[in-house]
Amino acid sequence: MYKYNSKFISILFIGHLAIDNIIRFNKPNTPSLGGTVTFGSLALRNYTKHVNIGIISNIGKKNFYASFINKFNKKNIDLDGIKWSDSLNTNFVLNYLDHSRILTLKSKSPNLNFDDIPNFYKINKPDIIVLAPLCNEISYEYVSRIVLEFPKSYIGIDLQGFIRNINEKGEVSYISNKELLEKVYNIIELIGDRLILKGSEIEMKLLTGKENLGEVMEYFQKFKNKGIYIMTLGENGSMIKKEEAPIIRVPAFKPVEVIDETGAGDVYLAIFLYEFMTSNRSRHDIEASAYLASAAASYLVEENGPAGFQRKTKVLKRVNSKNYIN
């Protein structure tokens, strides 16, 4: 049974739980649980026990392995916000070759409905809400109701699932789509100062229409809010922008070996949000939070699937080692 502690900060992850079928160099692996909600919540729970974690999702019964839920129950993660539907679950095939991948959506759970959020969260309002769709299951209306219902919560955005183009064959691509991009621009304006947005290099370039990395980050000044914008760059680390202050550049830490890169950005976002919220939220704190997030992500890639999560004490050791890739 989930145990809520009023002394801890609370983080609510919202988005689909996916079944990932990973193929690496033409060799399929056993299906595993995936998605930002999965990687973010489990990584954060392994990182620290001093946080309340909840999940809002919609699971399709027809092709979901019910045993996967045990992973969350054992970690004291609240699952009362999960709605079970008599449908197929969100299911991706991830075909990796070198450092690129081909992503295909085989099936999709129903879109999320704001009215399915338990009253518990409307009474015990979370400090952070992470909106992490995988295939456009979170609408602008949903976000607008989140903003109104939780006026003091910081809102983390994982960009990927807001801007993915998915064709009739389920093939996922990042092609400029005016409607999807306008939706994100409107969400940025809507959330304003409470926004923490994270995207990969390809996602942020698509969102801004810029190719130069510095210009990508400077682009967000146009919104004239106090939000934080994070671009993850894989082996090249990450870049962070807040208002007119200089860009913060954070290196990537060297893993012992690279086994599976899936979910590294999700871990980065979850750890960053927690560290930021438990700090004084100064520029120095933003940078320190990003170093911890980068180190935590470097551990994830050393294992298959959602297995490479580490405690904060171990992450701190890697931060202090200063063993960077570049």
Q: Which of 27-31, 33-37, 274-278 has the highest mean pLDDT?
A: 274-278
Whether the predicted pLDDT of 99 surpasses 70? no
- Range 293-310 average pLDDT: 88
Pairing of strands 9-14, 128-131: parallel
CA angle 165, 171, 175 (to 5 degrees): 35
Tokens of 1: 């049974």
How crowded is residue 100: how many other Cβ atoms within 10 Å of its Cβ?
7
What's the mean pLDDT when you consider all of the chain? 94
Query: What's the fold here for domain 9-237?
Result: UDP-N-acetylmuramoyl-L-alanine:D-glutamate ligase (3.40.1190)
Q: Where are any strands of DSSP class E within the chain?
A: 9-14, 18-24, 27-28, 32-34, 51-60, 78-85, 91-97, 100-107, 128-131, 154-158, 165-166, 172-173, 195-200, 228-232, 238-242, 248-250
Whether the predicted pLDDT of 25 surpasses 90? no
Phi, psi of 156 (to 5 degrees): -90, 135
Whether the predicted pLDDT of 257 surpasses 80? yes
- Range 42-70 average pLDDT: 94
State the DSSP code for 127.
Answer: S
Q: What is the pLDDT of residue 21?
A: 86
Q: Residue ranges of the domains in the chain? A: 9-237
